Amino acid sequence: AEGEDTGTQYSNRAYDTFDVEQDSRHLVIEEFTTGSYCPGDIAAEFKVKIANVGTSDISQNDEIKVSLTINGFGFDETINYDTKLRSESSKEFTFNVDIPADVSGSKLMEISVAHDSDKDASDDGSILVQTYASSTDCEAVSGVSGTDVKGTINGVLTSTGTLGESTSYALLVYNTGSSSATYTIEVSGVSGWGTSLVEPIADIVVASGEFSTFYVHLTPSEAASESNSAVITLKSGSEIIDTKTLTMNVEKSSSSTYTNALLGSTFAELGESEDLITLLSLAIILLVSFGTVYTALQGTGTPTKKNRKIKKERK
């Protein structure tokens, strides 16, 4: 009413004038600044300045809560403050906000402030709603940049191949981050024993919470050993997000192959050791060779004379 003390008034702030009861403790949002940021920026500073416009101090036991929610950002945080805030004094708080790379248009933001013993937290000045729009002076980004990018590679990592033949690994890249991301797949450690190919060749764009399939084709060469490895690296820009190791076991032919063909089964199935299989193989080869030579020698011997009976005619 006219002539009565209605409390402190602020101008050029986030709220209009309002009445405050005597001996009260009431918090309002005095200022809110977001600065100028671009999509993909990390830890952008959104600052909230609050004021105790009441006539009494807010003690350290009467915890203050400052909250910021941004629709479309997946951002909803509260800062707790347990230090005395005197009457007619202010305090600034900073929220570190990651700007999604795929943000577009304006996003609605809500800032609120209250304290534990506040019975009229919804009074004028304690809640502020406004929109956020990215800076117009930004370069286009593809996916999120920086440490906010997350993701994993999943799938069967071990396979058995044959020399000179391509073996395919079907794998998944899963985006565990909060925003869309662009990934690059690289394969290393293959040049010493074979060749590799990744499909698709282009970068992979995956939405938050989604997955995408890619293929790694490995072809072992003559230089391959029985067990070989290759490293898959999942990257976003120059940042390494995840790595996995592929194992390629290679089946090589040995001296027992001829024996297996002769017998129609493998000694390995009988539980024999490789050395024993080799010895048995050589023995069989020698035996077959000896039999061949012996047969040939028998064929070149002197023909056996047959006794002939001469039939004489009677006169």
d(CA 290, CA 302): 21
Q: Does residue 167 sit in the same domain as residue 201?
A: yes
Q: What pLDDT digit, counting tens, does each position of 179-231 carry? A: 889 999 999 999 999 999 999 988 999 988 898 999 999 999 999 999 999 99
Among residues 251, 281, 302, the one where a domain terminates is 251
Q: Does residue 182 sit in the same domain as residue 128?
A: no
Among residues 232, 251, 270, the one where a domain terminates is 251
Q: Does residue 162 sit in the same domain as residue 218?
A: yes
Q: How confident is the model at residue 277 (pLDDT cuts 50, 70, 90)?
A: low
CATH number at residue 83: 2.60.40.10
Q: Does residue 164 sit in the same domain as residue 243?
A: yes
- Look at residue 3 and tell me whether its pLDDT is greater than 50: no
Residue 74 domain flag: yes
Show the domain range for 208: 152-251
Q: Does residue 171 sit in the same domain as residue 104?
A: no
Q: Does residue 95 sit in the same domain as residue 180?
A: no
Residue 53, classified by CB atoms within 10 Å of its CB into exposed (0-12), middle (13-18) or buried (19+), is buried
- Look at residue 170 and tell me whether its pLDDT is greater than 90: yes
Task: Determine the pLDDT at residue 24.
Answer: 73
Residue 59, classified by CB atoms within 10 Å of its CB into exposed (0-12), middle (13-18) or buried (19+), is middle
Work out the mean pLDDT of the chain and round it to a whole number: 77
- Look at residue 9 and tell me whether its pLDDT is greater than 50: no
Residue 102 domain flag: yes
Residue 283 domain flag: no
Task: Determine the pLDDT at residue 120.
Answer: 58
Note the maximum CA span of the chain: 181
- Look at residue 259 and tell me whether its pLDDT is greater than 90: no
Residue 308 domain flag: no
Contacts (Cβ under 8 Å, ≥6 apart) of 50: 27, 28, 29, 30, 64, 66, 90, 91, 92, 93, 113
Counting the structural domains of the chain, the total is 2
Q: Does residue 118 sit in the same domain as residue 202?
A: no
| Amino acid found at 96 | N
Q: Does residue 125 sit in the same domain as residue 157?
A: no
Residue 218, classified by CB atoms within 10 Å of its CB into exposed (0-12), middle (13-18) or buried (19+), is buried
Task: Determine the pLDDT at residue 103.
Answer: 74
Q: Does residue 33 sit in the same domain as residue 121?
A: yes
- The answer, as to whether pTM is greater than 0.75, is no
Residue 212 domain flag: yes
Q: Does residue 160 sit in the same domain as residue 245?
A: yes
Stretch 122-151: mean pLDDT: 67
DSSP assigned state of 298: H
Among residues 203, 229, 251, the one where a domain terminates is 251
CATH number at residue 158: 2.60.40.2310
